[in-house]
Structure 1
């Protein structure tokens, strides 16, 4: 079997929103409050004149300034800085948690979950803002139709990556759940197939009852001959 190339999952750059509302570090408090309210957004990236992300200012940052006793730990450096903040530079949360356009969507999903954010700034290799990715953007990955998923499993995973005839296996997809039945040549191929199918965008679960014609687990490869080449028996005439 040829070397299997693990397919790349969908990248953040393919699902992000490129039209982004931004503010500068010198934007006044009142102006940013009006901006967030007008556009009905929970926050905005703060960028410098070169487009590099300096931080993020959110509704929470504004509330921390206005709250009577503050939402931050009293006496903390951050609380003191935000207490009398008049400009975004003193209001924003910095450094910003960002994701790169070339990252897998799974990376963005993990960051959103870990930090309880609704969206993340997306940057290029130079740290410049290129978009924003939200939870709803990531959910689009799972809106692929069952037919689209099945076609990718057949053509990309089985035919191209595993060099198998898709017609030799039973492949069904329902609500993102992939079912695989049938037999393959070697036992070691089964976990590889399952891993590849799980990486297909939109796949929620893989259920399989695949069998093999030969259990090659634990079978040692043929040792090389004296010349470094694989040893081979001489033909008998």
Structure 2
């Protein structure tokens, strides 16, 4: 009877292959189809076989097969076999291991904590960027006030001190450029760290949504994704504006 069913299913698959979606490169093919392989809709963790729509039908109708665990189609189902018992990893009960679902839930909780920590690190770095920008604005204001004072003083001396005025302005601007370059370097480094943290956050979020227990555990272990990427401790980092006090009088020769 099983042979008759397989023959009937194969004939049915062959006659309707034009109506079904043929497996494309990168997609998981049906393990049962002969000839033209149709795209698998589900993989069975018990049978360790991927099925197309036609060959999946017994798992949806037969009461015994309905108890099998179906997941989205995946390749390399053989990697889910226990080498000692020659059974799917979730089935042996003599192993001295933590149940897969328990480890999955624990790992998912850990990923949630990691996600929260990464988000907190991102927020701290965004606040640091605001702090640096505010420091630059204050430095700009100081520079503007000092330049205005210099213009007022040197204008009264006309051409005799124009060269000194230009030197003064250039000196102040060079100091300000130094401050801005330092701030830009800090901001660039912070944005790079934020980019890396957001990338890790996306990876953690995608893994947290995974329903494939073993895939999640394997990815976390292989990539060490629970650990945030290496970052700098920004707690004591400050942009210290250049001091402009007394610059004008240095070029006037004051005090005598």
TM-score normalised by L of structure 2: 0.20
- Between structure 1 and structure 2, the one with the greater Rg is 2
Higher share of residues assigned strand: 1
* Higher helix proportion (structure 1 or 2): 2
